[in-house]
Structure 1
Amino acid sequence: MMKLAFMGTPEFAVKALAELVASGHEVICVYSQPPKPKGRGQQLSPSPVHAFAESLGIEVRTPISMKSAEAIAEFQALDIDACIVVAYGQILKKAVLDHPRLGCFNLHASLLPRWRGAAPIQRAIMAGDAYTGVQVMRMSEGLDEGPIILSGRVEITPDDTAQTLHDKLAHTGAALLPVALAAIERGGAAGTEQSGDVTYAAKITPAEARIDWNRSARELDFHIRGLSPFPGAWCELETPKGPQRLKVLMSRLSDMTTDQPAGTLIGNGLNIATGDGVIELLRVQREGKGGQDAATFLNGAGLNVGDRLN
């Protein structure tokens, strides 16, 4: 078994940390992003990894920047075999990467070199990929450019959202880590250099999440499911009080046909004409309210066939 440092922040990384501990490895220190204001009171709240590590009695460090001389020196004082990084959210300098005896290793939620960067789960669905995966990678100074130690492939189904795919990948990735670490410990994990076309998974911007009904139904279905539940693809609903943002949380392709303008409500249910075909919205969320299925939403929305969503 190995002495490890772990770096991670969101819920995706919690399962990986739990699996390492359950496998018998000694995680002597956890790094996570600093607590952030949350809720109405804007009280500082620890990240999911921070909270979980504290519940296990593991020391947690939350430096504002891992590039500072102080943070690097504190890390270099750790007596560790390896460092495992899972969605930490900070760039690591060479002085950090070179310190552990066996190296630093990243669990990344794509099949590299496709979808390097911040939002690989969302981008895979938004692009209409048939599958994606998780990989354990030996870290280098470049962004997600290191050699691959171990991979796990995951199918993307027509009813997957970013949340459901996130959960699948978190489970698959957590299971890969102990296997990869066993190979690393034996010295048999030099890794395979990445090959193929490089794509980058840029962070999702609020403007990008807005729905353009002129796109094809197929593209919109990918867009909606890839951004669900957060940040949520959205359009505008006209109300007596003015335009109101409407998030769309789930959709599917419809076999209906129409010659109505894009954005028009047609037929029964929440079927919307697009630039090419029709899409059925299955679950939506109005401002200030929870998610609703289409039937419940239509009962109170005051929409009629022929109305248009902006």
Structure 2
Amino acid sequence: MALSVVFMGTPEFSVPTLAAIVAAGHRVPAVYTQPPRKAGRRGLQLTPSPVQVEAEKLGLAVRSPLNFRDPAEIDAFTALEADVAVVVAYGLLLPQALLDAPRFGCLNGHGSLLPRWRGAAPIQRAIEAGDAATGMMVMRMEAGLDTGPVALTAETPIAPGETAGELQARLSAMSAELMVEALAKLEAGTLAFEDQAAIAARTGREPIYARKIDKAETRIDWTADAKAVAGRINGFSPMPGAWTTMPFGGKSERVKVLRAVATDDLADSPGLSGKSDSGPDAARPGTTLDDALTVACGAGAVRLLEVQRASGRRVAADELLRGTPVPAGTLLGGE
């Protein structure tokens, strides 16, 4: 016997979960997503969310309220008489009346190992912080921000040099599998929950907030240590993208750095992680140490692996260097 599932999500990250719920045979009376956004050079085009595109492809009814302040929106949601709502990266606050409307409440797919990284940017902040692993969790939603009890967990390692975009894709697929499993257990009456306080006591993971990325954070601070620099670069890739300036033809140009690795994590460059006359500890932070875009930091060094000039596409660093060499001793990050 299938469940009646209202789905709520917006970005590409959410799409596999919606598709998997439908493929598992559950009935989806409505899909909620954020309204189409203005796009195009003049903002005259309206672009539907990836979830709306997928829902329409599947022949599902789509609803896109601006918010749930209007009681009529709550009434319309309640009238669906859903068994459960599944929320994956929806992006709107849900009032308590809506959380209470489905028979079994609302399940959320969250991209972190709670209670670590509650909030808007858990995937990006996990990479930025240098976490060795993260995961997907299915939790029951409550009034607090990502504070609800957890039912299912799937963990995955974070490799050195892995970007937020790559990790998001993997977690998106994991979310789909985990949510289908959760719905099967819910239907069978075997879905059990563990309070986040108990998880923290068992794992040692303390609650921490994954704040939304601010534009002011995106400029690379070369005075930070190498692990922190690489973490921010990879955590902010592909969007919004960490950046620095590089001199090309005598002019300073803004360049996004979209992948980097601390030289401690480069098997082919062990010498760059220690002290030497030409090593990172003898150079001003932001100075290139070789002609391969290895850059000194406040402590240690990073190798830049993928970059994007303002007028170009994302390329491997060596491709950039073939056309525009950046010799050792070049200072990055200048005005």
Which category describes the TM-score, using the shorter chain as reference length? over 0.9
Partner of 1:284: 307
Partner of 2:266: none
Question: Is contact 1:67–1:92 with CA below 8 Å preserved after alignment?
Answer: no
With 232-241 and 158-167 compared, the bigger mean Cα shift is at 232-241
What SS is found at the alignment partner of 2:116? coil
Residue correspondence of structure 1 range 171-210 to structure 2 within 5 A: 171-195=173-197, 196=200, 197-210=206-219
Partner of 2:30: 29
Question: Is contact 2:147–2:196 with CA below 8 Å preserved after alignment?
Answer: yes
What SS is found at the alignment partner of 2:51? helix
- In 2, distance between residues paired with 1:275 and 1:165? 27
User: Structure 2 residue aligned with 1:249, among 250, 255, 258?
Assistant: 258
Partner of 2:158: 156
Report how far residue 94 of structure 1 moved.
1.0
User: Structure 1 residue aligned with 2:247, among 238, 249, 257?
Assistant: 238
CA deviation digits over 1:128-173, x for unaligned, max 9? 1111111111111111111111111111111311011111111111
Partner of 1:128: 130
Partner of 2:225: 216
- In 1, distance between residues paired with 2:227 and 2:144? 34
- In 1, distance between residues paired with 2:317 and 2:72? 53
Report how far residue 210 of structure 1 moved.
1.1
Report how far residue 68 of structure 1 moved.
2.2
Report how far residue 179 of structure 1 moved.
1.2
- In 1, distance between residues paired with 2:51 and 2:252? 38
Q: More strand by proportion, 1 or 2?
A: 1
Query: CA distance change for structure 1 residues 179 and 281 in 2, over 3 Å: closer, same or farther?
Result: same
Partner of 1:12: 13
TM-score, normalised via structure 2 length: 0.89
Query: How many pairs align?
Result: 310
Unaligned runs of 5+ in 2: 201-205, 264-269, 273-278
Unaligned runs of 5+ in 1: none
CA deviation digits over 1:42-95, x for unaligned, max 9? 311001101110111101111000232221121111121110000000111111
- In 2, distance between residues paired with 1:193 and 1:240? 58
The letter for the 1-side match of 2:316 is D
- In 1, distance between residues paired with 2:30 and 2:166? 30
What SS is found at the alignment partner of 1:28? coil
- In 1, distance between residues paired with 2:33 and 2:136? 21
Runs (4+) of structure 1 exceeding 4 A deviation are 239-242
TM-score, normalised via structure 1 length: 0.96
- Report the aligned-residue RMSD: 1.4
